[in-house]
A and B are shown apart, each in its own frame.
Chain A
Amino acid sequence: MMSEEDTVGMTSGILGVARRDLLLAWKRPGDILNPLFFFAMVAALFPLAIGPSPEQLQFSGPAVMWVAALLAMLLSLNSLFLSDFEDGSLDQMLVSPVPLSALALGKTLSHWLTSGLPLVIVSPVVAITFQMPFAVTGYLMVTLLLGTISLSLLGSIGAALTVGLHRGTALLSLLILPLAMPVLIFGARTVSLVAAGDGVAGGLYFLAAYAVLTLSFAPFATAAALRISNE
């Protein structure tokens, strides 16, 4: 009976925090749009640097878009816990009866909904400029969908570790980028393999497995990191 109450508390905790963060994001749409513009602009930088040849763009498209998506995710991570840290909401979460890992999961969920999912949605538009065929674009969206989940979760650990530190953004990138390399490797290479007409199941399985792995351990690491950062 006790455990039943606990689970109810946990679910409502996750959803409550997620709903609150989504509402906050809705009131400040710039926070969602800026990383998206950043994504589109970084993706536009590469054709300007590489040259207009369609073959080359088609060849480098998956890699460029994945790197741009990774950087755009990083950009929005810095503010994940920042405003809560500054206005004291984070202290309330620390003393809340709901497990901190559940609240961290709720915040990560809303972060993914406001940064990962929009990237997945706008990626076809950017893909068109890279002459990407429709079938390949579908796979690009699937890899981004699975990959951004892991990136949000991994990133929440880094954001929790660096919350309240002054040299936030650069430090956060330094912590998260090496950990994010498996996601980048499997995400970008899988799309390249599709474009080359190869089998892709392995890459997608890996991305899904990695998303499940990070989903199972990242909330606890984030909670531990938040406790340490707020001592």
Chain B
Amino acid sequence: MWKFIHQLASPPHFYRIAPAFIRWLAVPGLLLIAYGTYAGLFVAPMDYQQGDAFRIIYIHVPSAYLSMMAYMIMAVSAGIGLIWRIKLSHAVAAAAAPLGAWFTFLALATGSIWGKPMWGTWWEWGDPRLTSELIMLFLYFGYMALRGAIDDTAKADKASAVLALVGAVNVPIIHFSVEWWSSLHQGPTIIKEGGPAMDAAMLYPLLAMILGFTLVFGALLLRRVRAEVLYRERRTRWVKEMILAGGN
């Protein structure tokens, strides 16, 4: 077990075995998403209050959850890279940031599309989750901007790792303060999640979508990490040998 983990941290080894993992994550993930999409659109009954509009949760909830998950992965692997100086985990952090930003954007966009028929407006500052998700997007932008501004990869890795960790400490505080802030004014009544229990025909597609999104996210992440590793190791011998041997 430990040997397996140690080997995984070696870039050439990771580069060779990653495709197998990507396949095993992507295929079940895409199948689950296909099932979830079909069942979410055609099998799940209409919501008695929200009509068909509720069906956007099948994209919204997995995206919102992955936007947080990606930040956690980014911060944890940045921390591991900073403390134990594992190059591969810096590559994971670098690869996770744009994915996380896209899922955050997706969560914001779907939330806003859902908000139009439900709240009558595209954007509702009174909803704390929308606001903290927006700040989350800014945190991702800051992280990627810092990374982009430093030319030296090793330095960019460490500097952005410090930022990711500081951000990770702040994320719960930001979330809490946004909730306090929005609780102060009497906004329009917001439909709370987890009110009435969800019908099984609605719930199973959602669970399938969450799991499917997570698996596909894992596959995308590994694919990006693999590209990142190849770029970072472009001057090493194993890359040269691999290319001369005609591998990919």
Residues of A bordering B, CB below 8 Å:
157, 161-162, 165-167, 171, 174-175, 177-179, 181-182, 185-186, 189, 193, 202, 206, 210, 217, 221, 224-225, 228-229, 231
Given contacts A161-B162, A161-B163, A193-B184, contact A179 B155 (CB under 8 A): no
Residues of B bordering A, CB below 8 Å:
135, 138-139, 141-142, 145-146, 149-150, 154-155, 158-159, 162-163, 165-167, 169-170, 173-174, 176-178, 180-181, 184
The 3 A-B pairs at the shortest CB distance, nearest first, are namely: A182-B177, A178-B138, A228-B158
Q: With the chains together, A141 CA to B146 CA distance in Å?
A: 33
Inter-chain contacts of B181 with A (CB < 8 A): 185, 189
B143 to A, closest residue via Cβ: A175
Q: With the chains together, A105 CA to B154 CA distance in Å?
A: 26
Chain A interface helix/strand/loop/mixed? helix
Given contacts A174-B141, A185-B177, A228-B159, contact A179 B146 (CB under 8 A): no
Contacts beyond the supplied A171-B145, A179-B166, A228-B159: 7 A-B pairs with Cβ under 8 Å: A178-B167, A178-B174, A181-B135, A182-B176, A185-B177, A189-B181, A221-B162
Inter-chain contacts of A210 with B (CB < 8 A): 173
Q: Which single member of A162, A177, A231 contacts B155 (CB below 8 Å)?
A: A231
Are A217 and B169 interface neighbours, CB within 8 A? yes
Task: List, sorted by A's number, 20 A–B pairs whose CB atoms are closer than 8 Å.
Answer: A157-B166, A161-B146, A161-B162, A162-B146, A174-B142, A174-B145, A175-B146, A177-B138, A178-B139, A179-B139, A179-B170, A181-B174, A181-B177, A182-B177, A189-B180, A202-B180, A217-B169, A221-B162, A228-B159, A231-B154
